Structure 1
């Protein structure tokens, strides 16, 4: 089994999902007492979030590259950034280490195509929805990408940063996001991307009105495939 290196803490809530999911998937594949072989570098998210808010992606890139180097030095044979937004710094991470980066958008595109989705509603942080780094990766795979209107993008961003990353689950917020999904379906979406690793804490993909990919789960599935191949 190959060793996976996780850059986590963004947020700690979703990093917990990564650890549990990776362990479960390996156990399902190998049986018995098997679990994933991992090293984790968990960052302090507060300084990262401040840099995000300032649009200082050069600084966040240095933080991500440093974390990747630490993981490779600890034996990681592949790197996972356990957050969608921080894949904006994927090029800096790839340049910093020899180990491959398992890109969350590639895993997401593969999962969407396997479900027959062609035009997906992207629900994520404002950075992921509005910047090109993520959607262009999906579009390169032949997928159409829709995002909510600006007021809904701002509200979803607030739900993520003010509630979900703190472990706060609100029924009112759940209803708001479901309303965004209905608007997306009316606009032509035939699938949904939980494009922030915390959204799966708020909504269950199995209960959505359209085929849905939880990016954290898809990312873990791709990582386990690498680890066991």
Structure 2
């Protein structure tokens, strides 16, 4: 088995979700409730990530995250992941600075959408995730369309992620507004699936909430993580 190195704290709520889901999926696949995967977690400051992105310091962000991965390398990790979507804006730069392989949440989600044969997909996430092309590019390259909310909706979603979800706060009125945005993308844009491009979204979006498939990036990422752990 391979040892996982995970960048966490991006934010703390989703890090806990990742940890629990990895263990659950690992035990389910091995059929052994008394077996646990070996992993390392390096918890970083998500607010520093937001500050660096807001000031356009992408190279500094890549250096910050690469330093965390290198620490995991020194701790014996065989591969690494970042338990968040937004930092994948500099994923390629990070991979170039480290020596162990990394599993991209973006590429994993793209492969899942391909398997589901989705052609027009909605994307919700932080404003950085929705505005940038890093999540959209794999889809666009193969002729799929990725749709995001309008600018005002993007600002609303970003604010709720930072002010509430990243702090573990789930409000019914926020859920109602987010589902309203998702339903507008379904009705007005004709999306066939919705990418939950923030790892805190499973706190508020449930599979039964929408009439289209939801691509839970945590579950999708964990699926590939556990496959790697169990590989020879």
TM band (smaller chain): over 0.9
* Matching of residue 106 in structure 1 with residue 107 in structure 2: yes
Q: Following TM superposition, by how much is the alpha carbon of 1:145 offset from its aligned partner in structure 2, in angstroms?
A: 0.5
User: 1:177-216, aligned counterparts within 5 Å?
Assistant: 177-186=178-187, 187-216=189-218
Partner SS state of residue 100, structure 1? coil
Judge conservation of contact 2:95–2:102 (CA < 8 Å) in 1. Answer: yes
| TM alignment of 1:211-226, pairs within 5 A | 211-226=213-228
- Structure 2 length-normalised TM: 0.94
Which deviates further from its counterpart, 30-39 or 66-75? 30-39
Match of 2:132 in 1: 131
Q: Structure 1 residues 191, 91: closer, same or farther in 2, change over 3 A? A: same
8 Å CA contact 1:117–1:211 kept in 2: the answer is no
Answer whether contact 2:183 2:210 (CA < 8 A) is retained: no
Alignment of 1:1-229 (within 5 A): 1-32=1-32, 33-186=34-187, 187-229=189-231
| CA–CA separation in structure 1 for the residues paired with 2:197 and 2:56 | 19
Partner Cα distance (1:79, 1:140) in 2: 26
- From the superposition, tell whether residues 192 and 25 of structure 1 become closer, same or farther in structure 2 (CA, over 3 Å): same
Shift of 1:7: 0.7
Q: Distance in 2 between matches of 1:121 and 1:67?
A: 31
Task: Give the unaligned 5+ runs of structure 2.
Answer: none
Mean Cα displacement is larger for which, 33-42 or 17-26?
Answer: 33-42
Q: Which moved more, 1:200-209 or 1:80-89?
A: 200-209
Question: For 2:138 and 2:76, how far apart are their aligned partners in 1?
Answer: 28
Deviations 1:6-55 (A, max 9, x none): 01101011111110111111000012212222111000223222222222
CA contact (8 A) 2:49 2:87 kept: no
Query: Gapped runs of 5+ residues in structure 1?
Result: none
CA positional deviation for 1:133: 1.4
Number of matched pairs: 229
**Separation in 2, partners of 1:138, 1:205:** 23
What is the distance in 1 between the residues matched to 2:213 and 2:198? 16
Deviation at 1:141, TM superposition (A): 4.7
TM, length-normalised to structure 1: 0.96
Shift of the alpha carbon at 1:207?
3.1
